Amino acid sequence: NLSEKLQEVFKQLKGKGRLTEADVKAAMREVKIALLEADVNFKIVKSFIKTVTERAIGTEVLEGLNPGQQVIKIVNEELIALMGTTQSRLTFANRPPTVYMMVGLQGAGKTTSSGKLAGQLRKQGRNPLLVACDVYRPAAIKQLQVVGKNYNIPVFEMGDQLSPVEISKKALEYAAENRNDVILIDTAGRLHINEELMQELQDIKAAVKPQEILLVVDAMTGQDAVTVAESFDSQLGVDGIILTKLDGDARGGAALSVRSVTNKPIKYIGMGEKMEDLEPFYPDRMASRILGMGDVLSLIDKVQQNIDEKEALEMQKKMVSNEFTLEDFLSQMQQIKKMGPLKDLMGMLPGMGKFNLDEALKGVDPAKEMARTEAIIQSMTKEERRNPSILNGPRKKRIANGSGRSIAEVNRLLKQFEEMKKMMKQMNNMQKGKKGKLPFF
Ligand code: GDP
Ligand code: MG
């Protein structure tokens, strides 16, 4: 993979203080080949190489890194920048219902993604409605009904007698009567972009005023995905992209190209057939995937990058002053997660070899545990996170439903959190008692 190739190029250069122009140029040749092999758009590769080269030449090689690793660091950061830096979430209408229009070519994954998304929104406590607007293929409505049945989501359909515009208008009325707060309109695709398709989508857009138009594109179509995204965006306007079938595309080039050509965020990626396989898109994870990183270097690097010292200090102050809330707890966990696989991190602690670690964990997967805790906190409102004492039975039940965990697990988390706070307080008191000295000295 790319990371290994770069290491190879720089093997002989160990110990040099700065990246020279010759070093960088040699490395960039490899980067260029690797990106083109990954089916990244040629224009993007060119401008990417230029950016990285400009940044890299003359850069001081960080202590503890060799020149190859230093270049990898820069390439990684620029890849992340190219894909949008941060995760982009779906937005919701200020006043319900929130309408999402799913658009894209035939076979891109609109219908299945609509279902998965509706299923996930349901889990978050919303009440979604699927709307069948693909009236051209007899099987299309049936397919959406099957999807809806699988996830237990209502499907609004009127056969193929009315136009998609009429159907979507009626769907809004239906949603109002049935208190559906999210409406996902599954539109028809075509094999290729044409006038008729765009006109129809524009008409639906005008009729329903969607909160977001989500363009579904098939990652396996590589370069074509870019052309498709460009046309939809210029003719219809696109708010976010869902990139499907990434499980079948090891190269990942489409993700890079689509984002940087349209400048529209990728909001979800499709990694398979199950509901959870529609995942939020994280630029840093995709960059690692393209680079093929995952070794100790990236781990150390991320440790350096992500522990924002200021934030850590602030957190420490909060802990000591007893103002530590569930919200702080959540952001702390997210910090830790950014550093990489938890098991790897723990393995780096002194005395924690892989063998000892497996022994100590006894089959518990710390990443999974953390993801559960995170899901529970994320299902709480801001107020609940700050003041967990307001959590009564119905609230706990809502949180349990929203996070897919049991009420017992919610209770356990709250108890653990209280114990943690108590411990912090005790430590704080002990410190005060010793006139500012830590108890260990
Ligand atoms: P539509 O024509 O845009 O509505 O596309 P469909 O939703 O009917 O999907 C077309 C095919 O792609 C179906 O067989 C889906 O199961 C499949 N599909 C959709 N998303 C993914 C994905 O993320 N991974 C894989 N492997 N298959 C997918
Ligand atoms: Mg469909």
- Written as tens digits, the pLDDT of the chain (441 aa) is 666 666 677 666 655 578 888 888 888 888 888 788 877 888 889 999 999 999 988 888 776 677 777 788 888 889 889 888 888 899 999 999 999 999 999 999 999 999 999 999 999 999 999 999 999 987 999 999 999 999 999 999 999 989 999 999 999 999 999 999 999 999 999 888 899 999 999 999 999 999 999 999 999 888 888 899 999 999 999 999 999 998 887 666 787 888 888 899 999 999 999 999 999 998 888 887 777 644 433 444 544 554 455 566 676 677 666 677 888 888 777 766 666 566 555 555 544 444 455 666 666 677 788 888 889 999 999 899 988 889 999 999 999 999 999 999 999 999 888 887 777 777 666 655 544 433 332
For ligand 2, the distance from its centroid to the CA atom of residue 161, given in whole angstroms, is 18
12: Cβ–Cβ under 8 A, 6 or more apart, which residues?
none
C-alpha to C-alpha distance for 138 and 109, rounded to whole angstroms: 17
C-alpha to C-alpha distance for 122 and 138, rounded to whole angstroms: 27
Structure tokens at 197: 């398709």
10 Å Cβ neighbour count for 293? 22
> Checking DSSP bridges between strand 212-218 and strand 155-156, what pairing results, if any?
unpaired
CA atoms within 13 A on the CB side of 427: 14
Burial category of 409 from C-beta neighbours within 10 Å (exposed 0-12, middle 13-18, buried 19 and up): middle
Structure tokens at 20: 């020279």
Task: Identify the three-state secondary structure at position 63.
Answer: coil
Is there an atom of ligand 1 within 6 Å of 279 CB?
no
10 Å Cβ neighbour count for 105? 23
Given phi > 0 = left and psi -120 to 50 = alpha, else beta, which region is 39? left
Answer yes or no: are the C-beta atoms of 204 and 185 closer than 8 Å. yes
Residue 301's identity, in one-letter code, is D
Answer yes or no: are the C-beta atoms of 255 and 219 closer than 8 Å. yes
For ligand 2, the distance from its centroid to the CA atom of residue 83, given in whole angstroms, is 27
Is there an atom of ligand 1 within 6 Å of 73 CB?
no
Instruction: For tokens 């079938």, name the residue.
Output: 245
C-alpha to C-alpha distance for 262 and 232, rounded to whole angstroms: 10
pTM: 0.68
Structural domains for the chain = 2-82 (1.20.120.140), 98-281 (3.40.50.300), 307-433 (1.10.260.30)
Binding residues for GTP: 104-111, 186-190, 244-247
136: which strand partners? none
Binding residues: 104-111, 186-190, 244-247
Answer yes or no: are the C-beta atoms of 26 and 9 closer than 8 Å. yes
C-alpha to C-alpha distance for 241 and 151, rounded to whole angstroms: 23
For ligand 1, the distance from its centroid to the CA atom of residue 322, given in whole angstroms, is 50
Is there an atom of ligand 1 within 6 Å of 115 CB?
no
